[in-house]
Amino acid sequence: MKYDVIVIGAGSAGCVLATRLSEDPKRSVLLLEAGPDYPDLEHTPDAIKNGYDLLPAQSPGTPHNWSLVGTAYPQQEDPIPVPRGKVIGGSSAINGQIFLRGVPEDYDTWAAEGNDEWGYIKVLPYFRKLETDMDIRDDFHGSDGPITVRRHKQGGWNPTQAAFYQACLASRFPEDLDMNNPDSFGVGPFPMNNRDGIRVRTALAYLNPPRHRLNLTVRGDVLAWRILFDGKRATGVEVESGGERFIVEADKIILSAGAIASPHLLMLSGVGPREQLRDLGIPVVHDLQGVGQNLRDHPLVAVRMRIKESVPVSADSPMMQIALRYTAEGSSTRNDVQIMATSYSIPVGVDPSGRDSFSLICMLELANGSGELRLTSSDPHVQPHLDYRFLVDPWDRRRLREAVRLCIRLLEQDSYKDIVDERLTPADHDLDSEESLDDWLMRNVSTTHHISGTCKMGPESDSLAVVDQHCRVHGLEGLQVVDASVMPNIVRANTNATTIMIAERVADWVR
């Protein structure tokens, strides 16, 4: 059977696209996903369904995690874990459920770089379309969209979260009760796509309700090997399922496999930097130098403390509730740093002495540096090399140093006296000088799991651009990329909400 549209990848973007495009009963849509399919909440495993305890979903080797690894910093000895969702719902099925938008300047910068359809005023209606905000009703928030958004009320904050909130207020940061307001700044509760402990992933919110449509076909446990071309036109996909390989065809192919798998599959299909493809014996369909370049993420380090024995901790309660967003000293980019309090630490969870620990996680929200994704094999089962190149830029190191020292000052506030037993890391000697702190940063920096930018959106005059502003692959026909990989630069926020917005926006164009 030949379909009108094949969507490769049923993650945050793919579930949205399949749902919206199949609203037209005359359009046949096939949605493919390498991971399993759970078509209703009753049969969904607890690790995916329950959103408060992240370890069963995100730990390496767990069933619905690709369990990838990457290199955070050129001199860092050990690889860092890179969890990605392997299930219908993609990474929205294993993430932290923080439903935070970027600041307006993020999208206006995209527009200024030649993508004028992506300015804040033009994307705001799609942010409103995708959500039902349970707490706030105004012109900036949606009230009838698929994704439920809520904030934890102050009476339900965990002790470590409440202490962080009070410490920030005592340090003269303003209260921020709506982090998705365009003027957001300060400390307050995260907007979250979690309702009463249930993870509101895109499979649950978007895909499951319209599964009865006769023109919508959803197939899990199907791995895409390569996209097929007739000249420069995409015509189908070679896939593997149940130990067999076969071909499915369509008039349009939409690649929504995420910021790792989308550039990976393009290169396996002969679309990417000519030199990389030839080195691995892959026939070149189209030389596109930007594929896999411009890798963006939020560098992260964790200031970790031992909790006093009297403080209650439970994995059944929310791990993340409160965060601080602020602008680094001397920075011209607003809200370029985020500090997030945790109720317990991951991935360790419990420190070696047996007492529970928690963290203040420092995230650089708009790093200057960028990395690269490179093909390592022509075998689709072999992951590409992920070289994040965090903290190579001196300005990035300076801002993250500042964030760590701010955390140390916050921990000295009175609100933490009955919470903190001792600081575990960084040690006092790591804080002695800029050089010693830089050394600690480079040994401990990791990813916030917000990889993006590897199929950059931009005009043909941009040498790194892979797709145009309508997400059509430059130089090819019948092929689009629609997911976090198309972001020209990362947003100053967790990326899931923006990824869903991108899919909503492109779905309207396709329709």
Which amino acids are annotated catalytic?
450
Residues whose CB falls within 8 Å of the CB of residue 264, separated by 6 or more in sequence, listed in order: 257, 292, 373, 375, 380, 383, 384
- List for the chain the helix, strand, coil content (%; round to 5): 25, 25, 45
194 and 150 in contact (C-beta within 8 Å)?
yes
Phi-psi label, residue 468: left if phi above 0, alpha if psi -120 to 50, beta otherwise: beta
Give the whole-angstrom CA distance, residue 389 versus residue 40: 40
Bridge partner residues of 147 (DSSP): 131
**Dihedrals phi, psi of 14, to nearest 5 degrees:** -65, -40
SS3 114: coil
Select from 420, 491, 436 the least CA-distant residue to 163.
420
Give the whole-angstrom CA distance, residue 199 versus residue 89: 11
**Dihedrals phi, psi of 273, to nearest 5 degrees:** -60, 120
DSSP sequence for 406-475: HHHHHTTSGGGTTTEEEEEES-GGGGSSHHHHHHHHHHH-EE-S--B-TT-B--TTSTT--B-TT-BBTT
Residue 116: count of CB within 10 angstroms of its CB: 11
Q: Would you give the distance in Å from CA 300 to the centre of its chain?
A: 14
DSSP sequence for 138-195: STTS-BSSSEEEB---GGG--HHHHHHHHHHHHTTPPB-S-TTSTT--EEEEPPBSEE
b/e per residue, 233-250, with b = 16+ CB within 10 A? Answer: ebbbbbbbeeeeeeebeb
